[in-house]
Amino acid sequence: MGSIHITDIESAINHWRDRDPERGDFTLAAPTLALAEVYGLMVFEQRDEVDEASLSKTAFAAWQAWYETTPDTPCIAICSTSQGDDVCKGCGRSFIEVQMWTQMTPVQKRQTWRRITQDHDAWRFNRYAERALGSGESWVNLMSKRITP
């Protein structure tokens, strides 16, 4: 089993809050409430990750529904692993991660996404990012706008 990072739990909560906002009596929809309970416990216990097996069926289903709205692969169609590199210069995944991607679980894929995002040295995060977005605005400026309080 894998671990889900707190930022994924936060993103899933925000997804469900947008999809099914609180009602007039301040109650949350079941998916939001299930994820909020996980999040609250993580914060209380000062943990960055939670084992997927410890999530309730409702919380895991809510997380998985959010996951299905995210891009499946970090591939930018510039695969240097096919040229012998151990780590792809395009997406930042290792040769094994590229080869096993279709067999990986959603949690394993999100762990890989988190690592390559933190490493931030693959071409998908720099020289091709602005071009892929079709904008004259820098990648850093665009990413800073995505951060919400």
For position 36, what pLDDT does the model report?
95
The CA distance from 74 to 132, in Å, is 13
Quick one: CA torsion of 119, 124, 128, 134, rounded to 10 degrees? -120
For position 28, what pLDDT does the model report?
82
Range of the domain at 43: 1-70
Co-location of 24 and 61 in the same domain: yes
Co-location of 77 and 60 in the same domain: no
Instruction: Provide the H-helix boundaries in 20-125.
Output: 30-44, 57-67, 95-100, 106-119
The pair of three-digit structure tokens given for residue 12, joined into one six-digit string: 């899933």
Co-location of 16 and 54 in the same domain: yes
Among 32, 53, 70, residue at a domain's last position:
70
Domains in the chain: how many in total?
2
Helix (H, G, I), strand (E, B) or coil at 45: coil
pLDDT in tens, the chain (149 residues): 689 999 999 999 999 988 887 666 677 889 999 999 999 999 999 999 999 999 999 999 999 999 999 988 999 888 888 888 899 999 999 999 999 999 999 999 999 999 999 998 888 887 665 555 555 555 455 555 554 44
Q: How far are the Cα atoms of 117, 123, 128, 132, 139 from residue 136, in angstroms, in the given order?
A: 22, 17, 12, 11, 9
The CA distance from 41 to 96, in Å, is 34
> What's this model's pTM, rounded to 2 decimal places?
0.77
